[in-house]
């Protein structure tokens, strides 16, 4: 069975993500060092709270290196909520704090005229005009409704595979090869969320098989 390292940098929704992965049959493990994450067949980057505080804690533990190493090696990586946000260069929420820079651009506050944060169930659909297939979006199943809690959103780009309507199109999911990222909480999103975690675990199994 593949081993999935859940990066435990002392902040965020670690327990619930870990338990949800175990629930779907994954061999998940909380890791606190980059060394412990080395050799994992999949990596999960969770996060809850302010961008700056999460980025500071990730760097202080050295687990930023574990996330970057996974991306560089093509190891399946799933980033959740603020974990998705940390993949970008920065955020309007925490000026001067640089993110991991895996994805281009900075996050901005949700549109004016809607309640901040978005704290609700919302439907995820493909962005207008998108034609390319998405394993992440397919994993959620038809007409997926998932649970969001956030006040800042990633910029639109070719890597965006899912959006929700919240005062306009808001980025909900990003996919670039083996890099998957969800602004919503899969572990709180019932059937659709568990299906996504199960599909990620299956992708990690495929990565293990390909390496053998």
Helix, strand, coil percentages (3-state) for the chain, rounded to 5, are 35, 25, 40
Give the neighbor-by-neighbor strand order of the sheet with 3-7.
27-31, 3-7, 42-45, 77-80, 179-182, 169-176, 160-165
Q: Which H or E run includes 20?
A: helix 14-23
Answer yes or no: 187 catalytic.
Answer: yes
Answer yes or no: 185 catalytic.
Answer: yes
Phi, psi of 39 (to 5 degrees): 90, -5
> 93, 164, 185, 204: which one is catalytic?
185
* Nearest residue to 75 (alpha-carbon basis) of 203, 212, 189: 203
- CA 184 vs CA 68, 111, 120, 147, 173: distances in Å: 22, 17, 10, 6, 8
> 81, 93, 164, 205: which one is catalytic?
81
> 93, 175, 187, 205: which one is catalytic?
187
Instruction: Note the residue count of the chain.
Output: 212
Q: Are 28 and 22 in contact (CB under 8 A)?
A: yes
* Nearest residue to 63 (alpha-carbon basis) of 81, 41, 47: 47
Residues identified as active-site: 81, 185, 187
């Amino acid at each position: 069975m593949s081993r999935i390292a859940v990066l435990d940098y002392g902040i965020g929704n670690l327990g619930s993500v870990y338990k949800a992965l175990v629930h779907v049959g994954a061999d998940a493990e909380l890791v606190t060092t980059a060394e412990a994450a080395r050799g994992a067949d999949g990596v999960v980057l969770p996060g809850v709270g302010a961008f700056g505080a999460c980025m500071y804690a990730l760097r202080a533990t050295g687990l930023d290196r574990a996330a970057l190493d996974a991306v560089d090696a093509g190891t399946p990586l799933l980033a959740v909520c603020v974990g998705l946000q940390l993949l970008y260069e920065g955020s309007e929420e925490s000026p001067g704090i640089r993110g991991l820079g895996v994805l281009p651009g900075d996050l901005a506050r949700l549109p004016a005229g809607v309640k901040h944060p978005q704290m609700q169930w919302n439907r995820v659909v493909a962005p207008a005009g998108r034609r390319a297939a998405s394993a992440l979006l397919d994993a959620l199943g038809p007409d997926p409704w998932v649970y969001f809690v956030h006040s800042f959103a990633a910029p639109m780009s070719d890597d965006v595979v899912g959006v929700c309507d919240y005062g306009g199109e808001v980025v909900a999911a990003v996919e670039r090869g083996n890099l998957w990222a969800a602004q919503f909480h899969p572990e709180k999103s019932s059937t659709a969320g568990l299906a996504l975690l199960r599909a990620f675990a299956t992708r990690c199994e495929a990565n293990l098989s390909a390496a053998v």
